[in-house]
Amino acid sequence: MFNLELKELRLGLSTGLSARFPDVQFLPQELDDVVLAVINAVGMTALETAVANTTDQIAAGSRPEDFSSTEVIETVERFATEQFPRESIVELIADMSGFEEQTAEAALAVFEEEIDELILGVHAAATDVHIAGLGTITAGADNTYRIILDESLSVPPLKNISVLSRF
């Protein structure tokens, strides 16, 4: 497993974006915001997945003590999920970093290329990638990721949602 630190992510983003936009200087905070936006998108997916799973469990007649936690996210295309599509991630990156949409799209692409190189073994042996605050990313099928969430993003069983479902 490869631990990818924020400063390594920032350097990779800076290098990749500078190659695409040679006349633009990117601030460290803007690059950090790109990473934070991706982490937030995964976190929102985890929360929405937990709510959907709990709702399904309620409909199936499960008892609240049997509800499960959400600890793994399966994506549909790299970081994009059914709950948080690529366009929404780009919008979040633009909102958080202040980048224009084109730059935000490029930032997401650069970020994904870095992850792909590591987990798909483009330049070396394939490996899992751990990003603190996000989790461990492994390769899925057809450009998808399986993300084992860090504790900070995993969602415990939503036992109290069953009370709300009656209203």
CA atoms of 167 and 154, how far apart (whole Å): 26
- Averaged over successive runs of 10 residues, the pLDDT of the chain (167 residues) comes to 89 96 96 97 95 87 86 96 96 97 98 91 77 94 94 86 50
pLDDT of residue 167: 41
Element (DSSP H or E) covering residue 138: strand 135-139
**Cα–Cα dist 26/82, whole Å:** 30
pTM beyond 0.85, yes or no? yes
Nearest residue to 109 via CA among 76, 80, 81:
80
The count of domains in the chain is 1
Single-letter amino acid, residue 130 = H
With CA atoms as reference, report the closest residue to 157 among 72, 74, 65: 65
Q: What is the span of the domain harbouring residue 67?
A: 2-164
Identify the DSSP state of 9: H
Q: What is the pLDDT of residue 67?
A: 85
**3-state secondary structure (DSSP) of residue 163:** helix
